[in-house]
Amino acid sequence: MTHHAPLPPEIARRRTFAIIAHPDAGKTTLTEKFLLFGGAIQMAGQVRAKGEARRTRSDFMKLEQDRGISVSASAMSFDFKQFRFNLVDTPGHSDFSEDTYRTLTAVDTAVMVIDGAKGVESQTRKLFEVCRLRDLPIVTFCNKMDREARDTFEIIDEIQEHLAIDVSPASWPIGSGREFLGCYDLLNDRLEIMDRADRNRVAESVEINGLDDPRMEQHIPADMLAKLREEVAMARELLPAFDRERFLEGSMTPIWFGSAINSFGVKELMDGIGTYGPEPQPQPAAERTVAPDEPHVTGFVFKVQANMDPKHRDRVAFVRLASGHFERGMKLLHVRSKKPMSVTSPVLFLASDRELAEEAWAGDIIGIPNHGQLRIGDALTEGEVLRFTGIPSFAPELLQGVRSTDPMKAKHLEKALMQFAEEGAAKVFKPSIGSGFVVGVVGALQFDVLASRIEIEYGIPVRFEASQFTSARWVQGPKDVVEKMVEDNKQFIAHDNDGDTVFLTRLQWDIDRVIRDYPGIKLTATKELM
Ligand code: GDP
């Protein structure tokens, strides 16, 4: 993960990250405070309803509010000190979604938010595992310290044990719940005192000369100070000291304690991401690894979002720039179609509004409006043929048939389904026999989300129904063997939205049988997108 020659300053100051959290841990609140301190919004409480782009997404929002889930992901940029932060929002729904995985391929760091009273929760663990697959550096924020929290050592132990990662305290909480005063900043030997009167104010920072500084007594009652001194001494003895190299390789996480709603600990966390967090990292491609400071622009699509503006049936492809300095109007090669593409109206996701991007650098996320040419996994370059790797397509774990309850609208349904397939919101399979479609997802909630979106965005009432199939595998192998297998198993064969052949299965036995009977055939659960 280390990069040797110094990067150009514009690239070096970029920090591209995502927040992972169990629902309710405080991801939204923390995002608001990031934007507040990043100067992107004037007051907290605006994230959910601000700016043209957000208003036009009100249909999504309705669903998000009804279900308490976040369906649409977006990216936000803001400045803090000398840093430019790019925060990529992870979708909050479903147990494990491909969306989340793909989002995490576009960032260099993850911020893991946990609730100080609840510790490591189920979703935290799953999201953490996804980060680990990519060796992403992880910064931890233990939130809600203004509520009765668990013992600090207990929280740290739980993270170390459940997630198998070393935890190094960057700050140490002083009390919790009603007694929570603030934190001792272990990295800078400072005292941070929380302001309970004004939730949007940055905490008071007191420079002190180590824990024994008598000035501590002016701020902390004697009994709490004694406890703090004892705990910090113990922590320094028992817990590993912060080691940036280990953090960057993903085997150690620094932890900050705070209260997002009280804006407390957030500034220190941002400082930490800025100071220690990785710069834009090299990106793997099939041909070679792409370094951020290469002069030519390259990037890959990690997300496609449709209907951000219901008046126009357009889509926005979210592109992570892997290298170079992008300027508006540039002509880029769309590698998959081998066609040039003029990027005349890219959007930069400045927090309060969608804004036209005049320029962007490696590490940034830009949105490119298009009519469906851009798909997940696509590469854009200044002419080189590159295929970025590492954005897999997963085999769905749940399959259902889908049909329109209004027969007049059956044709439109196909269009809607294809669009969601391109967006990566679901897998859509067209069986080679019969009519209708089979839709595959990785989390059950996705069926509800789809049904609701098809109804809201296309006006098509639909019904999902049980399917005899339970999973799907992509078929590969020698051409003649594949042809024979397809011929013999027509009732199990379908095609995905790229036209690739898929074998629909009911039981593991189906898979075993095909592998046994058709030597050389490969049935894969993932399909590397190119
Ligand atoms: P998300 O589901 O992770 O996005 O969580 P939210 O940011 O929506 O927060 C969930 C709930 O916890 C909301 O009611 C917040 O007001 C509350 N909350 C967030 N941060 C804090 C905090 O630091 N202290 C307390 N007491 N409540 C908080």
Per-residue pLDDT tens over the stretch 413-434? 988 998 888 877 789 999 998 8
The answer to whether 76 and 350 are in contact (CB under 8 A) is: yes
Would the pLDDT of 520 be above 70? yes
Instruction: Give the model's confidence band at 93: pLDDT under 50 very low, under 70 low, under 90 confident, else very high.
Output: low
The torsion angles phi and psi of 323, rounded to 5 degrees, stand at -155, 160
Query: Which DSSP letter does residue 496 get?
Result: -
∠ CA 153-158-159, nearest 5°, is 105
CA distance linking residue 413 with residue 369, whole number of Å: 23
Of 37-51, 207-221, 410-424, the poorest mean pLDDT is in: 37-51
- Cα–Cα separations (whole angstroms), residue 149 to 44, 117, 124, 232, 491: 24, 4, 17, 17, 56
CA distance linking residue 38 with residue 80, whole number of Å: 5
Q: Which CATH architecture best describes the domain 283-381?
A: 3-Layer(aba) Sandwich (3.40)
pLDDT at 338: 94
pLDDT at 5: 78
365: left (phi over 0), alpha (psi -120 to 50) or beta: beta
Instruction: Give the model's confidence band at 309: pLDDT under 50 very low, under 70 low, under 90 confident, else very high.
Output: low
pLDDT at 49: 40
Which CATH class for the 17-276 domain? alpha beta
136: tokens are 């992403």
350: left (phi over 0), alpha (psi -120 to 50) or beta: beta
- Is 270 annotated for ligand binding? no
- Is 3 annotated for ligand binding? no
* Span 5-17, average pLDDT: 94
240: tokens are 């590993």
CB of 23 within 6 A of ligand 1: the answer is yes
Instruction: Give the model's confidence band at 58: pLDDT under 50 very low, under 70 low, under 90 confident, else very high.
Output: very low
pLDDT at 203: 64
More confident residue, 44 or 268: 268
* Span 462-467, average pLDDT: 91
> pLDDT, tens digit, for every residue of 380-396?
999 999 999 877 666 77
Would the pLDDT of 284 be above 70? yes
Kindly give the number of the ligand 1 atom that is closest to the alpha carbon of 262: 23
The residue nearest atom 24 of ligand 1, judged by CA position, is: 144
More confident residue, 148 or 47: 148
The answer to whether 140 and 277 are in contact (CB under 8 A) is: no
> pLDDT, tens digit, for every residue of 360-382?
999 999 989 888 889 888 999 99
H-assigned helices in 427-522 = 445-458, 479-488, 508-517
CB of 16 within 6 A of ligand 1: the answer is no
- Is 253 annotated for ligand binding? no
Strand partners, 80: 83
Domains 17-276 and 283-381 equal at CATH topology level = yes
**What CATH number is given for 395-528 in this structure?**
3.30.70.3280
Of 74-88, 171-185, 204-218, the poorest mean pLDDT is in: 204-218
Domain boundaries, the chain: 17-276, 283-381, 395-528
Instruction: Give the model's confidence band at 41: pLDDT under 50 very low, under 70 low, under 90 confident, else very high.
Output: low
Kindly give the number of the ligand 1 atom that is closest to the alpha carbon of 21: 3
First and final C-alpha spacing in the chain = 23
CB of 146 within 6 A of ligand 1: the answer is yes
* Span 119-141, average pLDDT: 90
Ligand 1 centroid to residue 114 C-alpha, Å: 11
- Is 62 annotated for ligand binding? no
Kindly give the number of the ligand 1 atom that is closest to the alpha carbon of 259: 23
The sheet with strand 75-80 has its strands ordered as 75-80, 83-88, 14-21, 109-115, 138-143, 252-257, 166-169
CB of 24 within 6 A of ligand 1: the answer is yes
Kindly give the number of the ligand 1 atom that is closest to the alpha carbon of 32: 7
Half-sphere exposure of 107 (CA within 13 A, CB side): 32
Instruction: Give the model's confidence band at 452: pLDDT under 50 very low, under 70 low, under 90 confident, else very high.
Output: confident
Instruction: Give the model's confidence band at 40: pLDDT under 50 very low, under 70 low, under 90 confident, else very high.
Output: low
